[in-house]
Structure 1
Amino acid sequence: MGTVHSSFNHKITEQSFTWLFDNYWEKIYELCYQQIRSHEDARELTQNIFESIWKRRNELHIEGNPEHYLMRSAKLQIINFYRDTKIREEHQASFSSEYRDFDNCTENEILFSHLNQRVSSVIETLPGQCKLVYQLSKNKHLSNKDVAATLNISIKTVEYHLSNANSLLKKSLKEFI
């Protein structure tokens, strides 16, 4: 699969997935970044697209130009990102207007403690390397490059683990948003 194909009419194998990832990751990332203007969010959206393809590889059958399929997937991810961002902003605005006058330090401390405990418990459930990558990045404040060098893994692997950890944290902490 060393050449660029104008059509891609077969199920996703590990080899074809690797080819798709190697040939289209940057292009999809650039499209997401142009629309969102956040490197972290663009990486997460791009990672979500390829993760979805990998998870559905046994039933997914891309016909025609894979670039068209990936671009449509990216556009849908971008639309969902903006929809989710708008909903989150509406919830935050509602929350802050309801609690603008909230000034009880003891209750804030309890809520903060509960949030910290929840974050810690979610981090503890992460798989080994994902947990280690997250802790080096967030607790030790290492850059993705430094985490990759420390663990002798690629930067994209670091980004993959961080994306998974962030996704799990977002799902687990919805009640705090």
Structure 2
Amino acid sequence: MSQEELIVLIQKGDIKAFDKFYKDNWRPLYHMAYRSTGSVDDAKDLVQNVFISFWNNKENIEVSRFHVSYLFTSLKNGITNLYKKAEVRRHYSEETIERDPVYTVEDDYLAKELAQTLQNRVTLLPDKMQRVFVLSRYQHLSISEISQSLNIAPRTVKNQLSTALKILRTAVCIIALFYFF
């Protein structure tokens, strides 16, 4: 049976004719796909997609103008799309890795240790300074709210907060040097 006769039968929905057409044409397509991708699974998927597309568009095929090169062109387009998708995935995965650094158990431990040490240092601050710091950083009050709450001038709140941050920053730097060097 000629290829033209097979296509006419396929256009009528003949599964046996499609099966014969598939068996006659899949191997060279598979070899081309495998050579292009280096992956058995990708090659199988690409060839399968070519034949699915062929079946889905069987009514639109002009029998007199059909040539097997149609299948190879379809395969080439599938390979191109596969590489484009892989490139997009690679690009976004690299972007994600750059944005989201990998944290280890050790990093988590160090963060907890640093937070605990910082909390201990806060308790060593003078009483008034400690209250200003806690209201600002833990309870998220504004300078004017802290000023009203403690009945002190806003400028005093700013000074106390600034001094507390300097003390704590110095302590954190010393701790960081201890842990990382």
Q: TM-score, normalised by structure 2?
A: 0.48
**Structure having the larger proportion of residues in helix:** 2
**Greater RCO structure (CA 8 Å; 6+ sep):** 1
Q: What TM-score, normalized by structure 1, do the two folds share?
A: 0.49
